[in-house]
RNA sequence: GCGGCCGUAGUCUAGUCUGGUAGGACGCCGGCCUGCCACGCCGGAGGACCCGGGUUCAAAUCCCGGCGGCCGCACCA
């Protein structure tokens, strides 16, 4: 018995939704091609996501490079966090992380040891394979980011981004300026990410190169109420939170938004808002709420940058619960790290509830005076002094009476001293970030799996009409020039209205319908001999196979209403169409 | 990366154990049938049997290596 996944993969390959890449060279796992219909389907899903998560929320999108210099992912913590030293057992072949292996044996391990150092430790402690007792091979790095070189100099190492998020963090300062310091800010990015997975084997579910749709919502954690959850208070979510998992349950509980807030399961309102939206997004795509859940990630499962994470999961036939989006509280980790590594101040201002008085005590060097006294040293002295902030300089001068740089002793007279009281009404802080992050390829696959139905021995892809890659089909009942002429003019009408139309002929009508059903075309118009006399055609529903007679000049309206979400039967009855038996 | 199973026209597959240079179905092309749910009939094209090496007079078939797939282990930050 074929699993549903196997059937979907077979259909996808046969009809051109997706297939393994580089097939003529034997294929490379982790890389897939999205074919003609797959691209159209993905685009519709992406556009719907844009409506929900970008435009409707007043957010904007950016498009940053996929390749970054080394320092970006050093700052983000990925270089450290993505690189583990692994050892492989020589006899049973199992792989272990060197650090956890040693820690389990009670050996103290420092952070960031090199493979050779691990080798010494393993030999000294006589560590054997915990699984079979065999001897262990040489430890080696395993890094899941793709590395490349930038320009012709091999020492300029670059990385292919493992997430689009860093682009939004790195560019935050400019974005903040562009929006003239409006705050909070939501930024989205849709694009490719790259992860050099060890052994991806679930087709389009685990790719080495994949499309991500991410929002970084920058906000003030002390004032997180941009989103109004009131209208969603009674909406329910299936949630498998930490407490349930710890109590040993694999079963989620269904809670209302109100309960989730009251029990503090999700702290940030914005995060919960995105989760509710994510659930609706998938429902609109045809994946019922009952097949979705949010699973909290436990301590060890979370990425290094996240304080709290809920994965939105969808129940798939073959693989069980599979993550399709992640909702992470990234705190101010990323921005503060980039601030530190770049030396730039990355902060926004917050209005204080009460103005407060601060005492400013600063010392600014006076280059002219220093130059008069030490004309030869001025350059060096100024350079050294610039290492200190004005307030640090004040402090040193205040405590020591002078400051010594490079054999030059400068007392207060070489500085302009500022001592004043100031009323401040704002304070600076580094924004916190809540991130909903979606895997477009997985979502597209899930949509295909949930749309896949069989009718007898035929396959029908019951995609919602508003995401169907092809909106309508037009067929002549018979392979005759007069009928084909009428069909061609209906095709033109629909194309002029902006629809993609599938036109086919020459085979039996059943065969034509069957092909259209497999690529999910929601509606078909068939030109027959009667059409030549009364300018009507039959309109056929993909899912029920019901047919009505419709005037040719109303065909475009019918399709328009269908892709706006109205049901086939509702349109037929409100148009007063004659049923065909 | 380890273990098990697998790789034959576009697709699914028979043949592999017991070596003798490939057969079917669907699809595709042409013709008839003018038929509203993969209609029926006739004809046709399409295959160095995943790649490389070995054994043999002879390899899709046996042996070794590689690549790829599925399942399990590990991994999935």
Q: Which residue has the higher pLDDT, A47 or A355?
A: A47
* A93, pLDDT greater than 70: no
- Å: A69 CA to B67 C1': 33
A220 in Cβ contact with A184 (< 8 Å): yes
Q: Which protein residue's Cα is closest to nucleotide B66 at C1'? A: A26
* ipTM score: 0.82
Average pLDDT over residues A118-137: 71
Percent of chain A clearing pLDDT 90 (strictly above): 55
- Å: A95 CA to B73 C1': 9
A370 in Cβ contact with A379 (< 8 Å): no
**pLDDT band with cut points at 50, 70 and 90 for residue A110:** low
How far is residue A540's CA from residue A472's CA, in Å, rounded to a whole number?
Answer: 10
What's the per-residue H, E or C state across A387-448?
Answer: CCCHHHHHHHHHHHCEEEECCEEEEHHHEEEEEEEEEEEEEEECCEEEEEEEEHHHHHHHHH
Q: How far apart are the first and last CA of chain A?
A: 36
A270 in Cβ contact with A59 (< 8 Å): no
CA dist A135 → A86, A92, A140, A298 (Å): 14, 9, 15, 32
Q: Which residue(s) pair with A536 in the sheet?
A: A551
In the complex, which nucleotide's C1' lies nearest to the CA atom of residue A303? B77
- The SS3 call for residue A544 is coil
Average pLDDT over residues A468-481: 93
How far is residue A559's CA from residue A238's CA, in Å, rounded to a whole number?
Answer: 35
Q: Which residue has the higher pLDDT, A184 or A130?
A: A184
Bases of strand B lying below 7 A from some protein CB: 1-3, 7, 11-12, 27-28, 33-39, 50, 66-71, 73-77
pTM for the full predicted model: 0.85
- Å: A480 CA to B43 C1': 23
Average pLDDT over residues A240-251: 86
Residue A91: what pLDDT? 58
Residue A197: count other Cβ atoms within 10 Å of its Cβ: 13
Residue A106: what pLDDT? 67
**pLDDT band with cut points at 50, 70 and 90 for residue A133:** low
**pLDDT band with cut points at 50, 70 and 90 for residue A130:** low
- Å: A36 CA to B29 C1': 24
* A205, pLDDT greater than 70: yes
Residue A132: what pLDDT? 57
- What's the DSSP call for residue A346? -
Computed over every residue of chain A, the mean pLDDT equals 88
Residue A84: what pLDDT? 67
* A108, pLDDT greater than 70: no
In the complex, which nucleotide's C1' lies nearest to the CA atom of residue A301? B77
Average pLDDT over residues A307-319: 92
A278 in Cβ contact with A327 (< 8 Å): yes
Question: Tell me: the pLDDT tens digits for A35-74?
Answer: 999 999 999 999 999 999 999 999 999 999 999 999 999 9
In the complex, which nucleotide's C1' lies nearest to the CA atom of residue A88? B1
How far is residue A225's CA from residue A219's CA, in Å, rounded to a whole number?
Answer: 9
Q: Which of A205-209, A256-260, A355-359 has the highest mean pLDDT?
A: A256-260
């Amino acid at each position: 018995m074929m699993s549903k996944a196997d059937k979907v993969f077979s259909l996808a390959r046969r009809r051109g939704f997706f297939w393994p890449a580089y097939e003529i060279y034997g294929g490379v796992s982790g890389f897939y091609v999205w074919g003609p219909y797959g691209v159209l389907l993905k685009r519709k899903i992406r556009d719907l996501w844009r409506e929900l998560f970008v435009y409707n929320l007043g957010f904007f999108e950016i498009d940053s490079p996929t390749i970054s210099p080394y320092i970006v992912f050093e700052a983000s913590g990925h270089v450290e966090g993505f690189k583990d030293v692994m050892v492989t057992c020589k006899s049973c072949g199992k792989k272990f992380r060197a650090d956890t292996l040693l820690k389990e044996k009670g050996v103290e391990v420092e952070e960031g040891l090199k493979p050779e150092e691990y080798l010494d430790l393993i030999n000294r402690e006589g560590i054997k394979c915990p699984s079979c007792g065999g001897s262990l091979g040489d430890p080696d790095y395993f890094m899941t980011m793709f590395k490349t070189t930038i320009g012709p100099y091999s020492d300029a190492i670059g990385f292919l981004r493992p997430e689009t998020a860093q682009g939004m963090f790195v560019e935050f300062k400019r974005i903040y300026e562009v929006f003239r310091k409006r705050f909070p800010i939501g930024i989205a990015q849709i694009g490719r990410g790259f992860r050099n997975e060890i052994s991806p084997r679930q087709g389009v579910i685990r790719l080495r190169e994949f499309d991500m749709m991410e929002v970084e919502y920058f906000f003030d954690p002390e004032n997180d109420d941009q989103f109004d959850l009131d209208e969603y208070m009674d909406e329910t979510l299936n949630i498998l939170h930490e407490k349930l998992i710890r109590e040993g349950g694999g079963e989620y509980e269904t809670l209302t938004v109100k309960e989730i807030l009251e029990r503090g399961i999700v702290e940030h309102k914005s995060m919960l808002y995105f989760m509710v939206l994510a659930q609706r997004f998938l429902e609109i795509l045809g994946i019922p709420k009952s097949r979705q859940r949010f699973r909290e990630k436990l301590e060890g499962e979370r990425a290094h940058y996240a304080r709290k994470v809920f994965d939105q999961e969808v129940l798939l036939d073959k693989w069980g619960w599979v993550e399709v989006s992640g909702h992470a509280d990234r705190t101010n980790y990323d921005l503060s790290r980039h601030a530190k590594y770049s030396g730039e101040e990355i902060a926004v201002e917050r209005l204080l509830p009460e103005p407060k008085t601060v005492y400013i005590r600063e010392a600014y060097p006076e280059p002219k005076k220093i130059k008069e006294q030490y004309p030869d040293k001025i350059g060096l002295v100024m350079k050294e002094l610039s290492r200190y902030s004005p307030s640090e300089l004040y402090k040193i001068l205040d405590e020591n009476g002078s400051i010594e740089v490079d054999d030059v002793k400068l007392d207060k007279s070489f500085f302009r001293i500022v001592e004043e009281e100031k009323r401040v009404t704002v304070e600076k802080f580094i924004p916190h970030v809540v991130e909903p992050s979606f895997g477009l390829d997985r979502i597209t696959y899930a949509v295909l799996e949930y749309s896949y139905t069989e009718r007898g021995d035929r396959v029908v892809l019951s995609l919602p009409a508003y995401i169907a890659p092809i909106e309508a089909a037009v067929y002549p009942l018979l392979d005759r020039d007069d009928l084909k002429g009428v069909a061609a003019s209906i095709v033109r009408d629909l194309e002029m209205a902006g629809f993609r139309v599938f036109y086919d002929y020459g085979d039996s009508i059943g065969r034509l319908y069957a092909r259209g059903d497999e690529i999910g075309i929601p509606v078909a118009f068939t030109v027959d001999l009667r059409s030549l006399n009364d300018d009507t055609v039959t309109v056929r529903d993909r899912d029920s196979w019901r047919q009505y007679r419709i005037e040719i000049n109303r065909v475009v309206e019918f399709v328009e209403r269908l892709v706006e979400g109205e049901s086939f039967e509702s349109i037929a009855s409100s148009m007063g169409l004659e049923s065909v038996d």
